[in-house]
Amino acid sequence: MMDPQIERKLIEIMRVIHESDKPIGARAIADELNNRGYDIGERAVRYHLRILDERGFTCKHGYAGRTLTELGEREMSDALIADRFGFVISRIEETAYGTTYNPETNDGVVPVNISYFDKDDLEAVIEVISYTAHEGYMISSRVRIIEEDEEAVSLPPGKIGLATVCSVVFDGLLLKAGIPVEPAYGGILQMENRKPVRFLDLISYSGTSIDPIQIFMSRKTTSVLDVLERGDGKILANMRQINSSAYDRAKEVIKSAEKVGLGGCFPPGGIDETLFGAPVETGKFGISIVGGINGICALEETGIKIKTNPVSTLMEYKSMTEI
């Protein structure tokens, strides 16, 4: 039986090919998958394409690239399409489970987003990320600069990488404390006088193969710089649901994390009450967490070109430094 993770990547590759209006090559497919939050290189894409060729799902057109065959199109709309649903939640759950960071000892790994940009933009990137983090609109003010020759993360030629802490760290901390947490929504949160007011738009994590935060980021609907400068604007935020019985314990875990510099959580909502307009299931309460890539959105708002893979990998928190 094929590894489920490979099957999911095959599905996403087929989806990219399906959405292209002409034959598309491995490099372009890898770039698009990275834009959608999948950490996969050109070589790995070529490996998966060979599998699709063998199954008769894709057809190669010389150096121009590949298209889907009739069989591939049918498979997209039938069997394989069902496997996509819930993939993002699965990634979050796996990453949360792999989080080992302990605030009391300051040891362990945390989930990070990996962004990459031109070397000439490094100074501006550091300045904006620092500003956003210290204003409380990112998860942590610790980052890691990744050079091109580092083996841990693959970067395009001529680029520098930046690792920022992902909001999934809270899923991991809550899970380690014995508190199940459910990713509910990603959305655009309206801020007024530096306080959250309402979600302007929401996408459920259930039944999607693309991270909702990635979708909103690609739409360029934030105004993080306005929030930083005037207190009013739109930021990225997540909403999690937690069982009501864990209300007090969850607050303790979040407070413990804040003491070591992991922040970005707004006060939890009431049990059985909507949170900034987002629905909450009966017997649960909602908690909203700022998007870990709000600083990246702020950079894009300045005109800097930067690409990001959310929930990219796990990294030792000690290897990250205060910005």
Would you kindly state where each structural domain of the chain is located, as residue ranges? 4-84, 91-322
pLDDT confidence of residue 21: 87
Architecture of domain 91-322: 2-Layer Sandwich (3.30)
pLDDT-above-90 percentage for the chain: 69
Q: Which residue has the higher pLDDT, 180 or 153?
A: 180
Residue in 214, 106, 205 with CA at minimum distance from that of residue 166:
214
pLDDT-above-70 percentage for the chain: 93
| Both tokens assigned to 82 | 């069902």
CB 84 within 8 A of CB 291: no
Q: Does residue 40 register a pLDDT over 90?
A: no
pLDDT confidence of residue 265: 96
| Both tokens assigned to 202 | 């929401």
Give the pLDDT mean for 132-155.
87
pLDDT 10s digits, 260-281: 999 999 999 999 999 999 999 9
Cα dist. 311→116, 168, 268 in Å? 14, 8, 23
When pLDDT is cut at 50, 70 and 90, the band that residue 300 belongs to is very high
Helix (H) or strand (E) holding 251: helix 247-259
Q: Does residue 36 register a pLDDT over 60?
A: yes
- The fold for domain 4-84 equals Arc Repressor Mutant, subunit A (1.10.10)
SS3 306: strand
CB 116 within 8 A of CB 161: yes
When pLDDT is cut at 50, 70 and 90, the band that residue 86 belongs to is low
Contacts 24+ apart (CB under 8 A), 15-21: 15/76, 15/84, 15/209, 17/58, 17/66, 17/67, 17/68, 17/72, 18/68, 18/72, 18/73, 18/76, 20/65, 20/67
CB 103 within 8 A of CB 302: no
CB 224 within 8 A of CB 132: yes
Q: Does residue 179 register a pLDDT over 70?
A: yes
Cα dist. 252→158, 174, 248, 265 in Å? 44, 10, 6, 12
Residue 250 makes CB contacts below 8 A (sequence gap 6+) with 174, 177, 179, 242, 268, 287
Residues 44 and 41: their CA atoms lie apart, in Å, by 5
Residue 307, phi then psi, degrees to nearest 5: -115, 145
Residue 176, phi then psi, degrees to nearest 5: -65, -25
Give the pLDDT mean for 117-132.
95
State the burial class of residue 100 (Cβ atoms within 10 Å of its Cβ: 0-12, 13-18, 19+): middle
Q: 155: how many CB neighbours lie within 10 A of its CB?
A: 16
When pLDDT is cut at 50, 70 and 90, the band that residue 293 belongs to is very high
pLDDT 10s digits, 87-122: 678 888 889 999 999 999 999 999 999 999 999 999
Helical axes 212-219 vs 294-302, angle rounded to 10°: 10
Write down the pTM of the prediction. Answer: 0.75
